[in-house]
Amino acid sequence: MQEFPEIGILHRRKIEAEIIKPIYEILTRDYGKEVAKAVIGEAVAQAAVESGKEFAAKEPNGTSVESFVALQHLWEQDDALIITVVENSHERYDYNVHRCRYAEMYQQMGLAEIGFLLSCNRDSKFIEGYAPQVKLDRPHTIMMGDGICDFRYCLRGKNNE
C-alpha cells in the first residue's frame, strides 16, 4: 500500500469547507442562518475538541505549553500564517498573526460569514481537548475584520481561571 504525505491544515480546511458549504447552504435555506450557523459551529467545535484529544494521546510525557508550541508548524505550513512571537516560555505562548490565508481562503470561497466557525473557533476548542490546563485568549481576529489575531496561551492558575 502506498504511503501518502500528510496534507497541511490549510489544505485540509479547504477540503472540509468544500464539503460544508453545500450543507450550510441547505441548512440556511431550510432552517435559517442562525440555525445553520449553530449546527455548523457545534459540529466543528466538537470535532476540534476530539482532534485535540487525539493529538494529546500521542504525547508520551503529557501535554504542556511547550508541547503545544511544537505543533504550531502544522497550522503555519504552506505559509498559512505570517506571525510574530511575542512571548514563548514555559507558562505562555503569545503571538500575533499578521496574515491569515485561512481567512483569505474562506473569503474567496464565499464563506467569510462562517469562516470564524470553520477555523477560528477551533482554536479554543482544540486546546480544550489537547491541554485543558492551558487557556487561550484571543480578543481580535483577522477573520472578524481586525488587523491581527492576537493569540495568548497561558497555563491556568489563580489569576488565569
Query: Does 161 map to a domain?
Result: no
Q: In the numeric block, which cell numbers belong to residue 55?
A: 493529538
Q: In the numeric block, which cell numbers belong to residue 2?
A: 502506498
- pLDDT tens digits, one per residue of 75-128: 999 999 999 999 999 999 999 999 999 999 999 999 999 999 999 999 999 999
Query: Does 31 map to a domain?
Result: yes
Please give the model's pTM, rounded to 2 decimal places.
0.90
Query: Does 4 map to a domain?
Result: no
Name the residue range of residue 106's domain: 9-155
Residue 86 dihedral angles phi and psi, to the nearest 5°: -95, -45
* Number of domains composing the chain: 1
CATH of the domain at 18: 3.30.1380
- pLDDT tens digits, one per residue of 47-73: 999 999 999 999 999 999 999 999 999
